[in-house]
A = this chain, B = another copy of it.
Amino acid sequence: MKQLFQPDGIAVVGASSNPGKAGFVAIRNMREKGYPGKVYPVNPKETEILGYPCSPSLAEVEGHVDLVVLIMPSRMIYSVMDDLDRRMEEKGDVKFIVCAAADYAETKTPEGIDRQARLMRTAEKYGIRVVGPNCIGVIDNRSLVDTTFVDTGVPFSSFGQPSGITFISQSGALASTILMEGAGRVEPVLYNKFISIGNMADVDFVDLLNYFETDDSTRVIGIYMEGCGNGRELAETLKRVSRKKPIVVLKVGRSALGGAAANSHTGSMAGSDAVYDAMFKQTGVVRVDTIDELIDTLQAFDRLPLPGGGNLFLYSQAGGPGIYCTDAIARWPQLKMPLVSDDTKARLAATQQPMANICHPEGYADITASASVRNHVDGLQIVLQDENVDAVVFITVVPTFLPQEELARELVKMTETTPQAQEKPVFYCVMAGAYTSPARRIMEQAGLCTFDAPDKAVLAAKNMCNYAAFRRRQKED
């Protein structure tokens, strides 16, 4: 898989100088990211695209090519494969094909099936691995490869360092949405690696999981799944990999109707959802229900240490959101609001205003709307120092008179100077929508993990607790 994510030479068949075409955006994405390797646009009608000289055919690209990206219309696959045959006879260099175009076997038409067969014939003959067809391509934000034709609308320079989140999607549209939703977050999410696998004519979940298992820059693996054929092999792979890294899956086709729709889509059999669900439980896979939960949970795993248990303290600046969050916690038997020591209670009370509610009920504090920055920060530090606390959900609504950027900076400072704040996960819920973006941006840039609603923070906490419990059980065995 190395030549897929760190190829030496990329040829783009169907490259275009027309900014309204996919074959232009793929080239532009690599140019914008500063991909340091060679890019070879292939198009008989062009001489140069964005400064890269164009070749009339794949066979005529002079330099070494590890990766071929196919963005041309699917009906051209026959002549392009003939070209590739010639190239492989002469140079034998290509290791990977990413076939982005649709209108292959997923259509279930004789034409589509035949086109995919033609693609695979050359690939198999020379041992070339194929990603797709019917996908949006591959991204590696460390090697700066980006074969996708997705424009997130956010310039690459606005992103910070790549995260440890690697994502595999069976749907191109879901992949685009995950990329764009990530880009549009308060602090844009830059995925480590990102791959859309479409019809899985060749490269599949198992291949990729095997590779990401030992990929140092992958801390957590996200998957959007409709279904796949090799269930037993997938289960074994998931189980082995999830002992090392968390795997978060959004699996659709929960319902019979959804399964029917999935079958119409990538042609995959979604299979009985109960079978998948049991497989995920046995293999320690974290199954999520929504796109929001997926991205939130991936971010939490990437940024936060695993909790030592399910004792989740709820530290809130406001009563209403605190009660709302208590309900969200009470939904999950694996989470418990813990009894802290009398010493913790006394120290906590000493840092707060007289109106603050300390531990009614246990494991809960409401520091009230009049809480200052110091009230917010000092109390959180004390809670984290209690040995019965495994994790904290922190809520603030940021009242108009609380300096939100100062609060954010002080929380970052406390984290840097408090060992327990680094050893235990804190799920920071900063409510009130776009108003609090400045605070959230400061916190996220410093590596903290923020959420926009208490229920979302609790879902991520629950998912991390489940996975941590799986890891502890694995160690005991």
Residues of chain A having any CB pair with chain B under 8 Å: 20-22, 25, 102-103, 107, 149-154, 169-177, 180-185, 224, 226, 250, 252-258, 260-262, 264-266, 270, 289-292, 317-324, 326-327, 329-331, 337, 355, 357, 360-361, 364, 366, 368-370, 397, 399-401, 431-436, 453, 455
CB of B257 within 8 A of CB of A361, answer yes
CB of B357 within 8 A of CB of A291, answer no
CB of B368 within 8 A of CB of A102, answer yes
Please name 21 pairs of A and B residues whose Cβ atoms are closer than 8 Å in the assembled complex, sorted by A.
Answer: A21-B401, A107-B355, A154-B434, A172-B320, A173-B399, A174-B320, A174-B324, A176-B397, A177-B432, A181-B431, A181-B432, A182-B433, A252-B324, A254-B327, A257-B330, A257-B337, A264-B357, A265-B320, A266-B319, A291-B455, A292-B453
Find the residue from A177, A226, A322 having the highest chain B CB count within 10 A.
Answer: A177
Q: A290-B453, A320-B174, A330-B257 are in contact. Are A435 and B400 (CB under 8 A)?
A: no
Q: A177-B431, A435-B152 are in contact. Are A360 and B255 (CB under 8 A)?
A: no
Contact partner of A360 among B182, B260, B327, B432, CB < 8 A? B260
CB of A366 within 8 A of CB of B265, answer yes
Which B residue's beta carbon lies closest to that of A148?
Answer: B400
Min CB distance A99 to B, Å, is 15
CB of B257 within 8 A of CB of A320, answer no
CB of B177 within 8 A of CB of A397, answer yes
Inter-chain CA distance A14–B256, complex, in Å, is 62
Which B residue's beta carbon lies closest to that of A437?
Answer: B184
Min CB distance A258 to B, Å, is 4
Min CB distance A252 to B, Å, is 4
CB of B320 within 8 A of CB of A171, answer yes
Chain B residues with Cβ below 8 Å from A265 are 319-320, 322-323, 357, 366
Inter-chain CA distance A151–B434, complex, in Å, is 12
CB of B177 within 8 A of CB of A322, answer no
CB of B174 within 8 A of CB of A327, answer no
CB of B171 within 8 A of CB of A318, answer yes
Which B residue's beta carbon lies closest to that of A227?
Answer: B323
CB of A326 within 8 A of CB of B102, answer no
Inter-chain CA distance A181–B433, complex, in Å, is 4
Chain B residues with Cβ below 8 Å from A337 are 257
Inter-chain CA distance A317–B102, complex, in Å, is 14
CB of B434 within 8 A of CB of A255, answer no
CB of A321 within 8 A of CB of B177, answer yes
Which B residue's beta carbon lies closest to that of A101?
Answer: B370
Find the residue from A182, A253, A261, A435 having the highest chain B CB count within 10 A.
Answer: A261
